Amino acid sequence: MKKHIIIVGGGFAGINLIKSLKNDNRFLITLVDKNNYHFFPPLIYQVATSFIQASNISYPFRRLFSKYKNVNFHMGSLLKVDPENNTIETDTGNLTYDYLVIALGTESNFFGMDNVQKCALPMKSIEEALYLRNHMLLNLEEAARNKDPKTAEKLQNLVIAGGGPTGVELAGMLAEMGKYIAEKEYPEIKLSLSNLYLIDALPTLLSPMSKMAQETSYKTLQELGVKILLNVSVKDYINNQVLLSDGTSIDTETLIWTSGVIGREVPGIPEDKIGKGRRILTDEYNRVEGMENIYAVGDIALQLTDKEFPKGHPQLAQVAIQQAKNLAKNFIRIEEEKILIPFKYNDKGSMAIISKFNAVVDLPKFSFKGFLAWLTWLFIHIIPLVGFRSKIRLALDWLRLFITNNPSIRLILYPKRNTTQQQ
């Protein structure tokens, strides 16, 4: 009989696991996700800044699986795992599994700061990115109408909390868009009142990357006018004031949160199987500790068996992809009664784009920056996109946008059902 594999989460790990087992008649696969589409998180900040369309980085699951004979899709949110009965409960029904793979990823970590969680603007989903886009565009319109300098400054100030790759890339794009677009399209706004802050509690930007990458990003963003505050953390966000650990504050209606992530909750997994950052503890085969048929892959997995990464693997797309492919091989080996292959991460490096024609790339043996690094970043970020059309469409959009410096999708849209319409 076919073994039923349920995969919860259609991110990098879930999709690559499915691709590795597609059309294998020994398995029936069901993907469970609250959305009906896969999206590419590394480019979500470009959606939030109106640079690209959400459709450029999204792809419907059902269209992707239409040629896979052994894959089904179940749209729903995970509510609970029942290991004793091999079932999961979702808000749209219950499912029974032979193997369960948890690939839910992470969510924003607000470190227990209730006001920040309530009022800051994260970017972990397409919905959050579109909300942030609307928020910033509405503030610009209000600033254009406002005659009070103090209020106008508060509307125009942008604060980014988090100096990792997302924060750096977002700061660079916002700074350049302000330079190329705001002056032309918002003549009523006094740009001298606008400030873009990038805040991080660590002493450097891009802390996991090389010293070259850290210094290059700092210098480039400073030249673009970004006010960088290091060794400082956000402590609260009250009445449109960002309160900092050094006792200072910044008036702003826009606090963008890229300052950390935490694993999504999975009710039903015992608490003693949850490690640091709310990640699920696994063995070297990505099997949840103490369980026979439940696995965790990607950002939510905490595997402490790799000697090269004794504190766990970095929460990167490449880790998720490699873990998924390794797990697929092991599912096949289980069916063939062969010895399992322990996971070992092959670190292919990291990168960040800072500004137009300028990026930094860290490879295992050397690092480089500038235009070549920028081209490398573009190429690497197009390859993983699902669908040939998505790759071509994004490449053409990037070509046009980098030439014109003027994205034309700054639309303030309010999705709303017309309740007066006849059914």
Domain of residue 168, CATH code: 3.50.50.100
Same domain, 163 and 268: no
Strands 3-8 and 27-33: parallel
- Position 196, amino acid: L
In a domain, 59, yes or no: no
At a CB cut-off of 8 Å and minimum separation 6, what does 98 contact?
3, 4, 5, 86, 293
Same domain, 212 and 167: yes
Q: Among positive and negative, which fits the CA dihedral 207, 211, 214, 215?
A: positive
Domain that holds residue 9: 3-34+76-108+261-335
In a domain, 286, yes or no: yes
Confidence (pLDDT) at 422: 40
Confidence (pLDDT) at 150: 87
Residue 201: both structure tokens together: 């509690």
Same domain, 250 and 276: no
- Position 54, amino acid: A
Q: What is the CATH number of the domain that holds 291?
A: 3.50.50.60
Residue 267 and residue 80 in contact, taking contact as beta carbons nearer than 8 Å: yes
The last residue of one of the domains, among 215, 233, 259, is 259
In a domain, 161, yes or no: yes
Question: What is the block-wise mean pLDDT of the chain (423 residues), using blocks of 10 residues?
Answer: 95 96 96 95 90 88 93 97 97 97 96 95 93 92 87 92 94 86 80 87 94 95 95 96 96 94 95 96 96 96 93 93 97 96 92 89 90 86 69 75 67 60 40
Confidence (pLDDT) at 19: 95
In a domain, 121, yes or no: yes
Same domain, 230 and 326: no
- 3-state secondary structure at position 386: coil
Same domain, 275 and 254: no
In a domain, 187, yes or no: yes
> Is the entire prediction scored with pTM above 0.85?
yes
Q: What's the number of domains the chain is made of?
A: 2
Same domain, 126 and 168: yes
Instruction: For 267-318, give the secondary structure using H, E and C.
Output: CCCCHHHECHHHCEEECCCCEECCCCCEEECHHHEEECCCCCCCCCCCCCHH
Confidence (pLDDT) at 414: 67
Partner residues linked to 307 by β-bridges:
none
Same domain, 222 and 233: yes
In a domain, 81, yes or no: yes
- 3-state secondary structure at position 87: strand
126-145 vs 149-156: helix axis angle to the nearest 10?
Answer: 160
The last residue of one of the domains, among 335, 361, 381, is 335
In a domain, 412, yes or no: no
In a domain, 43, yes or no: no
Confidence (pLDDT) at 258: 95
Query: CA 371 → CA 144, 353, 355, 358, distances in Å?
Result: 36, 10, 10, 5
Nearest to 296 by CA among 311, 306, 281, 309: 281
Same domain, 266 and 186: no
Same domain, 178 and 309: no
Same domain, 268 and 251: no
Same domain, 167 and 271: no
How far apart are the two ends of the chain, measured CA to CA in Å? 45
Same domain, 218 and 302: no
Give the C-alpha separation, 254 to 158, whole Å: 5
The secondary structure of residue 343, as a DSSP letter, is P
Strands 227-230 and 196-200: parallel
The last residue of one of the domains, among 316, 335, 354, is 335
Confidence (pLDDT) at 186: 82
